[in-house]
Structure 1
Amino acid sequence: MQKNLGWSTREVAELAGTTLKTVRHYHNVGLLEEPERLPNGYKRYTFNHLVRLLWIRWLVGLGMPLARIAAMDESDEGVAKLFRTIDYQLAAGIERQRDVRTELAAILRHRALLDLPSGFGDVTTDLSEPGRTFLLICSRVLEPAVLEALREVHKFPRSEVRREFDELTDEADDRYRQSVAERFVVEVVQEQQDYPLLRDLGERAASGEDPHLTAVLRQGAIELHNAAQLDVLRRMNAIVYPKGKVTTPPPTG
């Protein structure tokens, strides 16, 4: 019986379910030892090469970076540590996928959530369209802790005065606008007391200490509200900041 002389590069790649280019790359990065060459100059891979290649492909399939494979300690203890790391990464990935599925399920139930930022899938869908858009803007400029405070606030349906504010038209008279401002600001102040980070946000926006934040929130308020609503926001600002700090306070939805 003729002795098996091994496999060519193409053959060993096919046996391992990969490509010729990938095998050559593993050689270049030092993951796979170069085989000896036959007198005719062709490489001949042995069974050990195939086992090593299958091992590498398995680790890559688990999400292990090539650099980490190259540096790994192949002792029993090192391999056990590697597997524990892989298990931790897989568990974290599963948790992330579970969170994504939760958000997707919420979106499928309520299409209005499509324009909400990530992490707001469990908030009430009672938000107005400008309110949802405002939260999306906030997600680009606010810190995670502040966004979490906003998420807590928006777990509850809109109050009556918030609905009145959302439904304001330019035909609303001066007396009604002032009434909405005075009642709305009571709720905003209460929220700022319950969530100090929201109070700090309002003060930062009012003081202008963070010009980028102030500009984004102000421009968002201008573009998302009609003239009557902007008038009410200015009245609210005058109540909250009576010493002349003129800016548009960030509405909370």
Structure 2
Amino acid sequence: MTWSTREIAELSGSTVKTVRYYHEIGLLDEPDREPNGYKRYEVRHLTRLLQIRRLTGLGVPLAQVAAMGTDTDGRASIFRTIDAELEATMERLQNIRRELAVLSRPGASPDVPTGFSGVAEHLRDNDRALITIYAQLFSDESMDAVRRTLEADPNPELDEEFRDLPEDADEATRQAMAERLVPFVDAATDHSVTLEPKASTPGRAEAARNAVGHALHALYNRAQVDVLRRAHLISEANGGARPARD
């Protein structure tokens, strides 16, 4: 028994266009033709089509289907690679589901990274934007530290003063605020947060720091950026030491 192109396409769950394409790329042998020129497909063609459909259904690219021969080690390597890709995809989908579950809770905000919804209400748009950038560039441990600091809200009054600082703030105001901010940028104090880039190479880590610097200048006014700069300079001048207490 033999079949026409349309018949074998239907039997195999393919389409006539797909069958012809498999001929073009060498995945499926051309069948013999009848005197009238029509192709007549045999059982071996149907078997091959079903094999191709099974492999592509498992995620094997057509190029690798074509390369598969009698090399069992080579086939096993291809299957292991696809399995690893599927595992990564499943993990990504599970992470997406967890994030969607968090965003479905009352009060959750899509404007901040997962885990920051509890503090988002008290953040302004520029703060939210900066945290979003931080989450992309810095380690999970760093972001956990940022979140804990925001949840603790160690100095809400100072936060508001910094956020409301006008661009034309005078030198004395800037310097005074910088001195009050030192405990929050000084690595030797309880309130500071050390941001570690996710990047695995020095070049990428430097690019991350440069991106943050650019974001600060874009999201905050010149007086606010100047205050942060002064606070870091004071901290460095103090050698990162914990300030003396009365």
Partner of 2:185: 188
Would the aligned equivalents of 1:222 and 1:230 in 2 still touch at CA under 8 Å? yes
Show structure 1 runs of 5+ residues with no match: 199-203, 244-253
Pairwise CA distance, 1:157: 4.6
Query: Structure 1 pair 23/56, CA: closer, same or farther in 2 (3 Å)?
Result: same
Map 1:13-52 to 2 at 5 A.
13-52=9-48
Please give the root-mean-square deviation of Cα atoms over the aligned residues, in Å.
3.7
Structure 2 distance, partners of 1:239, 1:59, is 64
Query: Structure 1 pair 139/36, CA: closer, same or farther in 2 (3 Å)?
Result: farther
Would the aligned equivalents of 2:139 and 2:196 in 1 still touch at CA under 8 Å? no
Partner of 2:218: 223
Would the aligned equivalents of 1:123 and 1:154 in 2 still touch at CA under 8 Å? no
Tell me the TM-score normalized by structure 2: 0.70
Pairwise CA distance, 1:53: 0.8
Q: How many residues align?
A: 221
Query: Structure 1 pair 232/165, CA: closer, same or farther in 2 (3 Å)?
Result: farther
Structure 2 distance, partners of 1:79, 1:210, is 42
Query: Structure 1 pair 174/106, CA: closer, same or farther in 2 (3 Å)?
Result: farther
Pairwise CA distance, 1:164: 2.8
Letter paired with 1:222: H
Structure 1 distance, partners of 2:81, 2:208, is 41
Map 1:135-214 to 2 at 5 A.
135-138=131-134, 142=137, 146-158=138-150, 159-161=153-155, 164-166=158-160, 168-170=163-165, 178=175, 180-190=177-187, 195=194, 197=196, 213-214=209-210
Q: Select the residue among 64, 71, 89 that pairs with 1:68.
A: 64
Letter paired with 1:57: R
Letter paired with 1:182: E
Pairwise CA distance, 1:88: 3.4
Partner of 1:233: 228
**Residues 104-134 of structure 1: CA distance to partner in whole angstroms, max 9, x if unpaired?**
222223542x234xxx423464152323311
Partner of 2:49: 53
Q: Select the residue among 118, 121, 125 that pairs with 2:114.
A: 121
Query: Structure 1 pair 233/79, CA: closer, same or farther in 2 (3 Å)?
Result: closer
Letter paired with 1:164: L
Structure 2 distance, partners of 1:23, 1:191, is 69
Structure 1 distance, partners of 2:230, 2:76, is 65
SS at match of 2:217: helix
Partner of 1:7: 3
Map 1:102-113 to 2 at 5 A.
102-109=98-105, 111-112=108-109
Would the aligned equivalents of 1:165 and 1:180 in 2 still touch at CA under 8 Å? no
Would the aligned equivalents of 2:3 and 2:42 in 1 still touch at CA under 8 Å? yes
Letter paired with 1:44: R
Letter paired with 2:232: N
Structure 1 distance, partners of 2:160, 2:68, is 60
Show structure 2 runs of 5+ residues with no match: 198-202, 239-246
Q: Select the residue among 79, 86, 92 that pairs with 1:90.
A: 86
Pairwise CA distance, 1:73: 3.6
Query: Structure 1 pair 182/81, CA: closer, same or farther in 2 (3 Å)?
Result: same
Letter paired with 1:155: R
Pairwise CA distance, 1:218: 3.5
SS at match of 1:222: helix
Pairwise CA distance, 1:80: 5.4
